[in-house]
Amino acid sequence: MTSVYAEAGLARAVRRSLNLMLLGNLCGSMFGVICGGGTTAMVGLANELHAGDFAFGVINGIPQIATLLQIPFSMMVSRTHHRKKYILTYGLFSRFLWLLFGLIPLVVPTEPGWLQIWTLIFLLGVSSCCGASIQVCWFPWFSDLAPVRIRGRWFSLRDTIIACFNLGFGLLTARLLDTLPPENRYVIIFIIGGLIGMADMICFGFCEEVYTTPPQRLAFGEMMRDIVKDQSFMRFTVMWTAWCFTTNLCEPYLSRYSMNEMGLNFTQMTVFGTVAASVGTLLVMRRWGAVLDKSGGRTVMLVAALAASLSNAFYLFSTPGNIWPVMLRNLIGAAFWCGSNLAANSLQLSLAPEKGKASYIAFFSCVTCLAGTALGSMAGGALLETMGSMGWFTGSFDRYKALITLSTILRFSIVILLVPRITDGGENGKIQLRVPTVFTGLHRKRLRK
């Protein structure tokens, strides 16, 4: 990080703030190992509360639906310049609520049967609504601190560090889930997760609050017209929304399938899931960052998303007790989906203009999370329940494998059809089409011949 900061000539206060953001992101990632729709802890808690496939889809979809609040939050941030205040109030309260999740089986009555699961959904909804302020505060804040030319390497270094910590923390979490007494293991696990999530928010309280534009009072209608007319930004938004939808058709249900149908325990799920994904990320992340800064986000997105789209196909070879499909999917898949996520982060920052950047990012997050992640997750749950009630795919090629096949075909098609249409954004939002040097070198060689 020191060499990256020195190359950009960043002041000491800016370097300190970026390092604090890195620490906050690290805590946020460990928070995400425990707290989230598809984590092993949440899968276990949902199973204990007897959640069906559709209810589990709702659990995964609620945080995405709550991103609709990012648009009013972004307008508040643009008008008031109070990023730190919102993170230390709404964001901190959002993380605090996770301390209560593990208490649901102990405190909430089991009758009527729906009460416990809908209590979980209610708490998750309130936490997600308050947490909608976090993304629209931290992303533009980081953009104002870090120049475009170092963002790829900063994100790749950050993700490498996070992957290292997730190796150990994921194993610790799984070990606790497997060894703690069943009656209080979720209490302890979610208290740990909530406290680490709160530490994430507190880190931002010590960062320099920097703004590159003056406070702006944006009219909602005018802002939406500007965004919709921005063809480069909209093409990328459509592409990433389609990618999120096709991914989340089956993604939230893979952990549940591994535990319920394949018979893996918490430790196996973590070793061959979180740990394998962290190793895959560690092996390649810095290379993705260097390629991103050199060749642009579209190139990284095309290569990484093509390979990532096929990673879930390993589950088609799954059998009860077989850990290899889970390990290969997470090890090989993570090596590529970390690249596509890195490109997505870079592209939304570079394609959004400085004026109204928070609103652009909020719009992007709302559309991709709502029409992509949430709708995809609930559609996947509805398809699973429909196939189950109709008695379809009951043999070795079960309903989960049918859904995985559908998702894989759709993901691959989305990359082929839509990624070539997106463009890279320059320092000031200008369009810059970058071609990898390997291709330009081959072209020159043919010309010489």
CATH number of residue 317's parent domain? 1.20.1250.20
Instruction: Give the span between the Cα atoms of 25 and 247, in whole angstroms.
Output: 24
Number of domains in the chain: 1
In sequence order, what are the residues at sequence separation of 6 or more whose Cβ sits closer than 8 angstroms to the Cβ of residue 114?
none
Q: Which residue has the tokens 């989340």?
A: 248
Asked if 91 and 27 touch (Cβ cutoff 8 Å), the reply is no
pLDDT attached to residue 38: 67
pLDDT tens-place string over residues 328-369: 888 888 889 888 988 888 888 788 887 777 778 878 888 888
Q: Contact, 38 vs 247, CB < 8 A?
A: no
Average pLDDT over residues 4-10: 84
DSSP letter string over 369-411?
Answer: IIIIIIHHHHHHHHHHHHHHHHT-S-SSS-HHHHHHHHHHHHH
Asked if residue 257 is part of any domain, the answer here is yes
Indicate the range of 8-17, 130-139, 237-246 predicted with least confidence.
130-139
Q: Which residue has the higher pLDDT, 109 or 93?
A: 93
129 within a domain of the structure (yes/no): yes
State whether residue 444 is helix, strand or coil: helix
Please report, for residues 157, 222, 252, 402, the alpha-carbon distance to residue 361 in angstroms, rounded to integers and kept in the order given. 22, 16, 24, 34
Helix and strand numbers, DSSP H then E, in the chain: 22, 0
Report whether pLDDT(218) > 80: no
Q: pLDDT digits over 302-337, tens only?
A: 999 999 999 999 989 888 888 888 888 888 888 898
Average pLDDT score over residue span 14-29: 92
- Does residue 446 lie within any of the structural domains? no
Domain housing 361: 10-437
Question: How far is it, in rounded angstroms, from Cα 75 to Cα 267?
Answer: 43
What pLDDT shows up at residue 413? Answer: 93
Does 3 fall in a domain? no
In a domain, 39, yes or no: yes
- Angle at Cα 215 formed by Cα 139 and Cα 135, nearest 5°? 20
Tokens representing 259 are 């535990």
Asked if pLDDT for residue 274 goes beyond 90, the answer is no
pLDDT tens-digit map of 136-171: 788 888 888 888 788 878 888 888 888 888 878 888
Instruction: Answer whether residue 397 shows pLDDT above 80.
Output: yes
182 within some domain: yes
Q: 448 in a domain, yes or no? A: no
Angle 28-253-362 from CA coordinates, rounded to 5°? 45
One-letter identity of residue 434: R
Residues β-bridged to residue 431 = 425
pLDDT at 61 over 80: no
Q: How confident is the model over 289-313, as a mean pLDDT?
A: 87
Which residues, other chains included, contact 43 with Cβ-Cβ below 8 Å and sequence gap of 6+?
255, 256, 259
Query: Average pLDDT of the chain?
Result: 83
Q: Is 445 part of a structural domain of the chain? A: no
- The C-alpha atoms of residue 412 and residue 180 are separated, in whole angstroms, by 41
Q: Which residues of 183-216 are buried (b: 16+ CB within 10 A; e: fewer)?
A: eebbbebbbbbbebbbbbbbbbeebbbeeeeeee
Residue 246 is predicted with a pLDDT of 93
* 442 pLDDT higher than 60: no
The mean pLDDT of 186-209, rounded to a whole number, is 92
Res 447 pLDDT > 80: no
